[in-house]
Amino acid sequence: MNGYSPIGPVVGIVGAGQLARMTQQAAIALGIELRVLAGTPDESAARVIVDTRIGDYRDLADLREFGKGCDAITFDHEHVPTEHIRALAEAGLQVHPGADALVHAQDKAVMRERLTAIGAPCPAWARVSDAAEATAFAAEHGWPLVLKAVRGGYDGRGVWVCRTEAEVTEAFAAGVPLMAEAFVPFERELAVLVARSPHGQGVSYPVVETVQQDGICVEVLAPAPGLDPEEAAQAQRVALNIAHELGVTGLLAVEMFQTAGGLVVNELAMRPHNSGHWTIEGARTSQFEQHLRAVLDLPLGSPSMTAPVVVMANLLGGDDPDLFKRYEHVMAHDPGVKVHFYGKEVRPGRKIGHVTVTGDDLTAVRARARHAAVHLATGEYT
């Protein structure tokens, strides 16, 4: 770019969605220069980051060109081919997380194998190559049976909860490699966000509850209400141990199920995560700042909360694309609500932003967050 020379360290983020966009806010304060690799100039982060490069994250030549001059490379999604990540590291770039860690967030079967090996609590699971093998697994472990795309699933796409053999056959008709898991009769879903730096420092945010609807996270409650402190500490230990054993550098989000029999790990993400958006206002160090600190091998920031209760509610797109006209009501109704809009085209059901409310009383804070989120997304009043 003409006349552009960075003053601080340069962190390159492959992918230009809302996670990269929100990382820019933290980078501004720290004087860190962000560069993003976007597919097109209209992507969420490309709209706000000066040093946007256009290219294909599946193309090694594009990735190499992108990495030139970056002090660290990281990701806004898990779809960069593992072998390309390895090639970038072999060329001398600081890539965080590295390929050997990230593969556990890319491939659910590899993740299950490794978690089982290190003794992290998992449901019964197996690689299955056809409907007959999946049905045999269900005969042993019971129905319903959960089938998951080994790679590429998100927001519940790529997860099939099957109650009959016909549903198993239907899932295989998707034509992607699947694995089987026993259905976990969970009480609720939790998430633990930790950060680990290349020099081995680790920190954990408080355990949160994530509320899902139709496979999409709609609400995050921090800290997880009523969670026994012993169980919370155990969840944090499990997450920090996974980060250590897998050699994760940067953030690691561990999605868990809380069951009557204890905690069970669902899946891993190695980047800022939807379950951590509350940290922008709700923690001393936002997850975005923490990720930048970690990938640059700086000392990590305090994960402590700024208020006793924090609630984040996602904005899912409705039929009306014009959110901005509803800001007035939300802002007038409740000046404490913080609105985050990702600059993404509004499509029904798509995550287009979120709101955060901090306070003392869970019921009140939750109602305020929900009111704002529902009104912004749909124009309705709750």
- List the x/- string, 219-258, binding to ligand ATP by CB under 6 A: ------------------------------------x---
Nearer to Mg ion, 70 or 191 (CB): 191
DSSP code string of 26-76 = HHHHHTPEEEEEESSTTSTTTTT-SEEEE--TT-HHHHHHHHTT-SEEEES
Based on the shown chain and the rule CB under 6 A, indicate whether residue 153 belongs to the binding site for ligand ATP. Answer: yes
Tell me which amino acid residue 128 is.
Answer: V
Closest chain position to ligand ATP (CB)? 184
Q: Check: CB of residue 100 under 8 Å from CB of residue 69.
A: no
**Residues between 46 and 75 that touch ligand ATP (CB under 6 A):** none
Based on the shown chain and the rule CB under 6 A, indicate whether residue 334 belongs to the binding site for ligand ATP. Answer: no
Residue 365, SS3 per DSSP: helix
Angle (nearest 5°) at CA 290 between 34 and 78: 65
Which one of residues 155, 170, 245, 297 is an interface residue with ligand ATP (CB under 6 A)? 155
Cα–Cα dist 44/318, whole Å:
18
- List the x/- string, 181-220, binding to ligand ATP by CB under 6 A: x-xx----x----------------------x--x-----
Based on the shown chain and the rule CB under 6 A, indicate whether residue 152 belongs to the binding site for ligand ATP. Answer: no
Picked from ligand ATP, Mg ion, none, the partner binding residue 76 (CB below 5 to 8 A depending on kind) is: none
Picked from ligand ATP, Mg ion, none, the partner binding residue 33 (CB below 5 to 8 A depending on kind) is: none
Q: Check: CB of residue 20 under 8 Å from CB of residue 82.
A: no
Closest distance to ligand ATP from the beta carbon of 246 (Å)? 17
- List the x/- string, 104-143, binding to ligand ATP by CB under 6 A: -------------------x--------------------
Nearer to ligand ATP, 183 or 327 (CB): 183
Q: Which of 218, 221, 287, 337 is nearest to 20 (CA)?
A: 287
Q: By CB neighbour count within 10 A (0-12 exposed, 13-18 middle, 19+ buried), where does 22 fall?
A: buried
Picked from Mg ion, ligand ATP, none, the partner binding residue 15 (CB below 5 to 8 A depending on kind) is: none
Maximum distance among all Cα pairs of the chain, rounded to whole angstroms = 66
Cα–Cα dist 149/327, whole Å:
38
Closest distance to ligand ATP from the beta carbon of 273 (Å)? 8
Binding site for Mg ion (CB under 5 A): 255, 267
